[in-house]
Amino acid sequence: MKAIFLANYKGNIDYVYAEENINRVASLCDIEKDKVYTEAEVLADPESFKDVEYIFSTWSMPGGGEIKLVDYLPNLKAVFYAAGSVRYFANEYFEKNVRIFSAYAANAIPVAEYTVGQILLANKGFFQSSLLAKAGEHKKACDASHAHVGNYGANVGIIGAGMIGRKVIELLKSYKLNILVFDVFMTEEQASAMGVKKCSLEEIFSTCHIVSNHLANVPATMGILKKEHFEAMLPNATFINTGRGAQVCEDDMLEVLEKRADICALLDVTIEEPPAEGSKFYTLPNVFLTPHIAGSQEWEVRRMAELVIDEFENYLNGRPTSYEITPEKLAKMA
């Protein structure tokens, strides 16, 4: 069986697949260990790739353009994608009955860890307090912290209980927190089994000290978080977004944040990344931006490669796989 490493930015393969990962792939199939192909190279000589059965890739996997690379790979059986979302390229491969395995579960771990860290700090008023303390406003910094409820008995709202949302809930179980969840796919029985309360968006925003977005990035969720939701937030509450910016009506959110200095937003994602020059994202003191860093990076990326190689080995040996993406599953995912 023949396989290739494929990425339009070749450095991504070296970044995600450690030497031991590459050697392991080579032990399982016929692959050039030191060669990464781009879409342009495949299209320039498609005859050389007609026997390729498997692709190992990560960020910058070809797809989503006018040219469909899969049309030039007649014997392709599966893609093993060592990264998270496959939404931008998956459908063209599904059309050719090519199976897709993703490391979305591995990528969910650092996002969930990052989110939990922010939740615990936000409930202590860390973000506002640290700015004031550094400005020499010791009394105001203490007051800002004491305006928050801490991490005993606080209400935390999780919007979207997919892989990341569920991992956040799991990690929060060791803390004495009340967890409320909005997820249209979650049943009351599932919520009970997870030890959470299923409720509406309105209830989450009006009763939770922390609101954290993990909604799937699908058309039905675009702009779902509106002005009335942010206006309903509790005094000194925090909105966290490590999901996608498109779920938020950003003008609405910024308008409310400008009027209410007590609440704050911790935003790892925005619709435009980075936001446009001159945006209020940069000037409002209760907006805290990070440059989309919640997901896997540096040593964390190795976990994604290990997951898809495990999947490949199980696939080859006829054992059950756990992380295949199907069209049905994709409809509910980020």
Flag whether pLDDT at 334 surpasses 90.
no
Q: Which helix (H) or strand (E) holds 2?
A: strand 2-6
Say how far apart CA 303 and CA 298 lie, in whole Å: 10
Residue type, 85: S
pLDDT at 331: 82
Please report, rounded to a whole number, the percentage of residues in the chain having pLDDT higher than 90: 94
> Structure tokens of 50?
């007609």
pLDDT band at 198 (very low <50, low <70, confident <90, very high): very high
Indicate whether 333 pLDDT > 80. Answer: no
How big is the chain, counted in residues? 334
Domain at 108-289, CATH from 3.30.43.10, 3.40.50.720, 2.30.30.180, 3.40.50.1000: 3.40.50.720
183 to 98, 175, 190, 216: CA distances (angstroms): 30, 22, 11, 10
Give residues with Cβ within 8 angstroms of 304, minimum separation 6: 16, 58, 82, 83, 84, 103, 106, 107, 296
Q: What single string gives the DSSP state of each residue in 258-273?
A: HH-TT-EEEES--SSS
CATH 3.40.50.720 residue ranges for the chain: 2-102+298-330, 108-289
φ, ψ (nearest 5 deg) of residue 177: -130, 150
Q: How confident is the model at residue 211 (pLDDT cuts 50, 70, 90)?
A: very high
| CA angle, 226 then 196 then 243, to 5° | 40
Residue 296, SS3 per DSSP: coil
CB atoms within 10 A of CB 240: 27
pLDDT in tens, 250-259: 999 999 999 9
Q: What is the mean pLDDT of residues 295-324?
A: 97
Q: On the CB side of 314, how many CA atoms lie within 13 Å of its CA?
A: 14
Angle, to 10 degrees, between the axis of helix 126-134 and the axis of helix 138-146?
180
d(CA 295, CA 84): 9
Answer yes or no: is pLDDT of 216 > 90: no
- pLDDT tier at 97, thresholds 50, 70, 90: very high
Q: What is the mean pLDDT of the chain?
A: 96
Residues whose CB falls within 8 Å of the CB of residue 265, separated by 6 or more in sequence, listed in order: 238, 239, 240, 241, 253, 257, 286, 287, 288
With 80 as the cut, is the pLDDT of residue 187 above it? Answer: yes
Tens of pLDDT, residues 260-277? 999 999 999 999 999 999
- How far apart CA 119 and CA 158 sit, in angstroms, is 11
Tell me which fold the domain 2-102+298-330 belongs to. Answer: Rossmann fold (3.40.50)
pLDDT at residue 57 greater than cutoff 90:
yes
- As a whole-number percent, the residues of the chain with pLDDT over 70 amount to 100
Using one digit for the tens of pLDDT, what is the confidence trace for 10-48? 999 999 999 999 999 999 999 999 999 999 999 999 999
